[in-house]
Structure 1
């Protein structure tokens, strides 16, 4: 910045600087140059007859700048005896001038000193009685007008032109001049094209100049006596808006372009508004709505310090640039209102405005108030009423407490014809009010209670921050229903959102008594089941300071637009309907469809629209695939179903509802109980979908509908069931159709599994895929064998039983626990280990605390106390119950402590221990209106559940993920610890393909008969999509856009960490590929492309061709080290036994990421990492290698390489559990030596 400034100064000549000084002066004649001996003398006349003079040598400095160092005898003096300053004022001016000269250096611009002196003179009030202007009585009825002081003299167009011509701070390309032609009226011309009358035959006389604009903003206007450039004030009658003031009363206004004035509009109050009446289009908010709330700061205090005139103009410019759909302003006065009403952008863009009486009367009462402005729509009703701070139970919306002094505006709008939302613009009591905390709390509680059956938003200045305990406790009390949008969007620890910030805001520093930063301004929203929203943008505006003088950007002469920052919100509203086009159902397996359809085809008119089914909820939510569907409908539903085990349903007879002539297949009693139990739980989750309040739920499968009893009797003899049949209920299905007409069939939108784990692929005999696809998976050994799965299930059951012995309802009243699986076992695919999580949750209980409760509650207050205590208890319990079955176990320190167990049959189980407290909630997870006991975040578990709602059909997803994981492991690009993608990243990639490319699921047979051709198409899409994906700039996300914005620090950790950005579908949307580097990313992309090239080479026409192509993909080998590798770093780890070796290897894996980043970012090396550990046959030694594209000599010469290698080795020395027998060594060898060593007869190696 300094270099740029210096460069600009050298291009300014002495003559240019003299001319630029003229723009500071009242007239060009006030700068005179005359000969004085060998020098020229400059005399500059300033306001109040003050003169600055100096000498200069024109021959020596004609090409130099006008600086202190280039002039002689710089003086200040009175021009004559007519100087109006008294002795004290004159002494102050001289002292100020001397101080400026003393502080100046040789490069200081003389123009800046003259400008500062002139500004000081303009601020000097003349008190010398000799020069007090005489008053003249006017013959008019108006009040007498004082003679304008010199400081308020309006400058002419020629002076403004000269200032713009010579002022280097103004971009003259952005200046437009308005001038009057005698015959054709007002014209505009660019400043650089303007010619004076004596410069060109068609030049314009200066007296015809009417206005100047800079960047579209009028800065000088002769007619309006507006002069922002030189600081001369508008005439008082203009700045105060007196001549533009119109008679107003409280109400709704709109500008009438025909009448050219604001006209009051008719309206009704909230209490008179029947919400059953549909909303008209002109009373509905736009679906994507831009809000702005801003406390603009009245000027009854600190008026001389906060420069309200300049602030108001700047605020109006900001509003003009944004033109929000709905604006809520606080602390508005009549002065600002008058300026606002005269804004052309407001008049021309069809804005409506609700004005309070306190604003209209503000000049008489020193009051202020709120405004609501609406662009292109009006409220269907509104009410202005006092803030209710009384303690009463009145739940009416119309508040009638006349003792309150503050008021709120409540305006109601439509979001659709049937759904409304109330917008409340409020300004709660400040701390200067007596008992402000209590008043704010009582106001909020009254509002929450009065609006509890409505969609509404509370917008404005709440006058408390996130550390005001009483108010925050009040918000916490209603947190299930009231959402603070800033907290929904940001982590306030990283982005606190201080809209009142004395540490940065100049106005806030002036108005604050405490100098404490607070988040005063907020958007709070309460939504019902019929409305959902997504936040597209939420940020603060008005953060930057503005110059008090637009022509002077001096940091000492700047101010903020208000003591509050504005809060801009871009939000998408969508109304959710419950529709007969959507249903939640049970489907029998397709093997029974021929029997069922035989009846339906004859007797059921809905045969072509509906598949055979049992309704759970119909009508159901009309889902459209947006993120809110997932958060508020699908995830809560899946979490509920994860606690409902699958069961078999048996149909044993055909029965009839005589009252409506409907025949149906009836479940046996046990099956009915199972379905009814499922229904009751789902009904509690979605009560709004239960429209039939009269009849109890009776699960049935309709097969015939008759118009009358006679038809029913005629068919009765054919409606018999020869023998019962049974089918598994492993999934619920959401069916939808796009149209209401009878020709449109229901299709499967989502397939949601029951139970905590998905059915493993090997056991899906009844819900089987196409036989040829199953044969292919069996031939390629992709299914997990039943013995392996049963071993894991056995360990899970035994550990659960073991933990139930000490954590149960008798031992604990204040806590509950869960023991759940996650990872590959929960998804139902083959994995090496069994990943589990033990969760302890604190609950509110009215029962007496047990001794165990007391112990845990005491531990909770100690850092990691409860967590360590639980881990110790679990270890003791495991060793006590399962000691004879365990080969070894150990504890691993991590974010959540882990207990690792290896059983005698080599089944490995990891138990992650999560012990959240009341304060440790998953802060970024947005709670929905359908929040339940199942939505508390559990690391690993919820990640899987959010994934499953995206895949549409879990069995298809299971097959795709199994295939892709097996391929990735074969080719050496699997493993997060080695810089590649871990299991969850591959799962997200597969879910994205299923969501994006899975063909329409027309019926259950589409899933159950999913063929090799269908599967090949999905696999082909997987590789072509990711081979061509722009990994450097794009992000893989399962939802199209996230309502959650990220702060700068979140972006750094979430997006920039890792070169492949594959976002988790659960807030805060962390990057699951965070360990990838440029080198490993390129290797992964190469493998994607390798498959694409393979598929381009081979035939893929017939089913047999496609099966062969799939086989070739799985037969691709690990290319480590590839042809580009010239040297390798080989690490050798050794221990006394296999247990210690596994622990030692675990430490290596945890250290590799930092080492690989150092190699790439600091040493600038391209690397290839091995994705497995080579165990020697004795299982006490293991090898791991990293390849480089430089030979060993060049690598050794890199100082950074040695530094990072030593740092890696030091990490092993610092391992807290290291034993003397745990050793590590390394060698850097060339590729030929490495391969030669592999060819020598050595003990057999195994890869893990």
Structure 2
């Protein structure tokens, strides 16, 4: 689709953009210093030297003549946040090594290169090969800089130093069936394609930095947990930049929330048309059954196009829609010059442990540091399956909110905990005493986790139920539980007198160009031909819905059942995903902030589904208050004694065989 508005910035836009830039630089500290940038460049240069030496050593070992050995080459490329230019201090660098046909992944990359790096203890630490990842990766620290290195093997005798990965013809040099190489290449190809498709790279970068920070503080930055990862947020921001090509970051952030609050999922977000060419399968729900069950399609722009957000579930989609609505409300208030709202309000951390009355606590432990790191990564990658199982088992009665990170218990070595908030979906009728049995899905989850092929003695898992009042102190900053903020805080701020900002975006997915609406009496006053506005007066101030309205029914388990089934199936060739889509980004400081921040709003989301016959469609509404769930026959976490049962059940959730293991 074409741009919504070609209007340039106003004085108000310039002022708010300068404020945003100062906040990101000074308050959030998102820009690294020159010294750290130089260290990263030196590390990348050294890594490139090492892989070149590695390939020459392999070619010599295979008996090639010295002339061929001298020409032997490998090359390192970057992708992800570093390549996009939005990485923060201390972030890891996603790197790709491209090697020739005679250097295999298992023997060469995970064999000889791993051995070479392991013999450099002064430079290389925390070396961890991950063979069974969706995109196999070597993880390590090089002179203190975290590196994720993936490998692509091309059917070329020599890798040219000027190799261009952006051309589709590069895929002709991939051996048939080598999907791991296609996925590895796509990390770089997608990143470079995004940079070519945005109208202004600098405004794109500032806007993306803002959205990444917001997503981390609001707890929706994690592809592995079922939310969105770095590449997903980059694609969403790039699309907004295309809709408003002449806008500054402040307006782009505002329109980001406006557009995605009203976007009619599962209509896909596309930066460019999907094209076919070399016989690889692309995302196409008309032909691929698997693609029809994607709830939030965000399509990659490089061939072969694919859905980068296939991990999203009904629960996580509704949580994100609620956060889009909150962001939209705050941006409207800032545009109305309400002094109670500023950029700091947008970035306030979501108090996860105040938001629910009931949680699942997943405790893990291992016998040593190396085993614990591998075990934790495996369990983390499986938690999305628990979300799907609960949605399936309860027929949509419960919504799951997985926390996008773990919390180590420093009093116990090699122990950590994951948490998942539980609540009744809004549209489920209250039937006091109706049992909801989670024992089976929890057992199935533990069985799947314990099937880890590299599991060793001491690697264990325990799942238990905890009430909000019994959340362990080690999840809070400094180990100190804070007093709960009043649930009415956000509502009071929303109801405070402020000028109305009218003019919502209308039908972004329309094939015809839709122009930007007017902003009432605000700084921005535009009236362009063809303007189409939605009637915001008829909407409840806390509602999040698709546009136009749809008939909503209680979500059944069909989508989750199919998603869970497909998630358990072996990977199929049409889902060739870049490495960044499946690796959890290591933003632990952000996760801690997300858990311990003051709660500014206690709204949570309930999931409902409407099916138009072509695929799933989801809309959500705020739940005004939190209900109490009653859990029967529970086993308590390892660190505490049972708490008193709650006297007023709404839904009884029956755990039968939760507690097992030694954690």
Q: Would you say same fold, with TM above 0.5? A: yes
Distance 1:1237 1:804 in 2: 46
Q: Residue 1118 of structure 1: which of 336, 350, 357 is its match?
A: 350
Residues 884-963 of structure 1 correspond to what in structure 2 (within 5 A)?
884-893=122-131, 894-903=133-142, 905=144, 907-917=145-155, 938-963=185-210
Distance 1:1197 1:806 in 2: 60
Q: What residue in structure 1 maps to residue 386 of structure 2?
A: 1155
Distance 1:1037 1:1145, change over 3 A: same
SS at match of 1:965: helix
What is the CA deviation profile of residues 232-260 of structure 1, one whole-angstrom value per residue up to 9, with x for unaligned ones? xxxxxxxxxxxxxxxxxxxxxxxxxxxxx
Tell me if structure 1 keeps the 8 A contact 2:79–2:191: yes
Greater strand content: 1
Tell me if structure 2 keeps the 8 A contact 1:839–1:913: yes
Q: Residue 1132 of structure 1: which of 343, 347, 363 is its match?
A: 363
Distance 1:794 1:1111, change over 3 A: same
Q: What residue in structure 2 maps to residue 216 of structure 1?
A: none
Q: What residue in structure 2 maps to residue 1079 of structure 1?
A: 315
Q: Give 5+ residue unaligned stretches, structure 2.
A: 9-15, 57-65, 157-164, 175-181, 426-430, 482-587, 593-663
Q: What residue in structure 2 maps to residue 830 of structure 1?
A: 87
SS at match of 1:987: helix
Give the TM-score, by structure 2 length.
0.58
SS at match of 2:150: strand
Residues 658-697 of structure 1 correspond to what in structure 2 (within 5 A)?
none
Q: What residue in structure 1 maps to residue 448 of structure 2?
A: 1211
Q: CA deviation at 1:929?
A: 10
Tell me if structure 2 keeps the 8 A contact 1:975–1:981: yes
Distance 1:900 1:770 in 2: 37
SS at match of 1:829: coil
Distance 1:813 1:1154, change over 3 A: farther
Give the TM-score, by structure 1 length.
0.32
Distance 1:1077 1:929 in 2: 34
Q: What residue in structure 1 maps to residue 418 of structure 2?
A: 1184
Q: Residue 790 of structure 1: which of 26, 34, 38 is its match?
A: 38
Residues 572-651 of structure 1 correspond to what in structure 2 (within 5 A)?
none
Q: CA deviation at 1:771?
A: 6.7
Structural RMSD (CA): 4.0
Q: What residue in structure 1 maps to residue 289 of structure 2?
A: 1052
Tell me if structure 1 keeps the 8 A contact 2:285–2:292: no
Residues 33-182 of structure 1 correspond to what in structure 2 (within 5 A)?
none
Q: CA deviation at 1:890?
A: 1.7
Distance 2:446 2:267 in 1: 36
Q: CA deviation at 1:840?
A: 1.5
Q: What residue in structure 1 maps to residue 217 of structure 2?
A: 970
Q: 2:90 matched to 1:870? A: no
Q: CA deviation at 1:944?
A: 0.4
Q: What residue in structure 2 maps to residue 777 of structure 1?
A: 24
Distance 1:984 1:1163, change over 3 A: same
Tell me if structure 1 keeps the 8 A contact 2:117–2:124: no
Q: What residue in structure 2 maps to residue 1220 of structure 1?
A: 457
Distance 1:1028 1:898 in 2: 38
What is the CA deviation profile of residues 411-438 of structure 1, one whole-angstrom value per residue up to 9, with x for unaligned ones? xxxxxxxxxxxxxxxxxxxxxxxxxxxx
Distance 1:1227 1:1140 in 2: 23
Q: CA deviation at 1:877?
A: 1.8
Residues 407-486 of structure 1 correspond to what in structure 2 (within 5 A)?
none
Q: What residue in structure 1 maps to residue 98 of structure 2?
A: 839
Distance 2:291 2:69 in 1: 39
Distance 1:955 1:1195, change over 3 A: farther
Q: Give 5+ residue unaligned stretches, structure 1.
A: 1-623, 627-746, 749-768, 843-855, 860-864, 919-926, 1001-1013
Q: CA deviation at 1:1063?
A: 0.8
Distance 1:965 1:1144 in 2: 27
Distance 1:1068 1:1232, change over 3 A: same
What is the CA deviation profile of residues 182-217 of structure 1, one whole-angstrom value per residue up to 9, with x for unaligned ones? xxxxxxxxxxxxxxxxxxxxxxxxxxxxxxxxxxxx
Q: CA deviation at 1:1239?
A: 8.1
Residues 690-709 of structure 1 correspond to what in structure 2 (within 5 A)?
none
Q: 2:357 matched to 1:1109? A: no
Distance 1:934 1:827, change over 3 A: farther
Tell me if structure 1 keeps the 8 A contact 2:17–2:250: no
Q: Residue 807 of structure 1: which of 55, 58, 64 is its match?
A: 55
Q: What residue in structure 2 maps to residue 1037 of structure 1?
A: 270
Q: What residue in structure 2 maps to residue 103 of structure 1?
A: none
Q: What residue in structure 1 maps to residue 525 of structure 2?
A: none
What is the CA deviation profile of residues 1118-1157 of structure 1, one whole-angstrom value per residue up to 9, with x for unaligned ones? 241464x342110111234443322111101221222221
Q: CA deviation at 1:887?
A: 2.8
Q: What residue in structure 2 maps to residue 1230 of structure 1?
A: 467
Distance 1:943 1:928 in 2: 8
Distance 1:801 1:928 in 2: 23
Looking at both structures, which has the greater relative contact order when contacts are Cα pairs under 8 Å and sequence separation is at least 6? Answer: 2
Tell me if structure 1 keeps the 8 A contact 2:76–2:95: yes
Distance 1:1195 1:1021, change over 3 A: farther
Distance 1:997 1:1237, change over 3 A: same
Tell me if structure 1 keeps the 8 A contact 2:473–2:480: no
SS at match of 1:939: helix
Distance 1:773 1:1046 in 2: 36
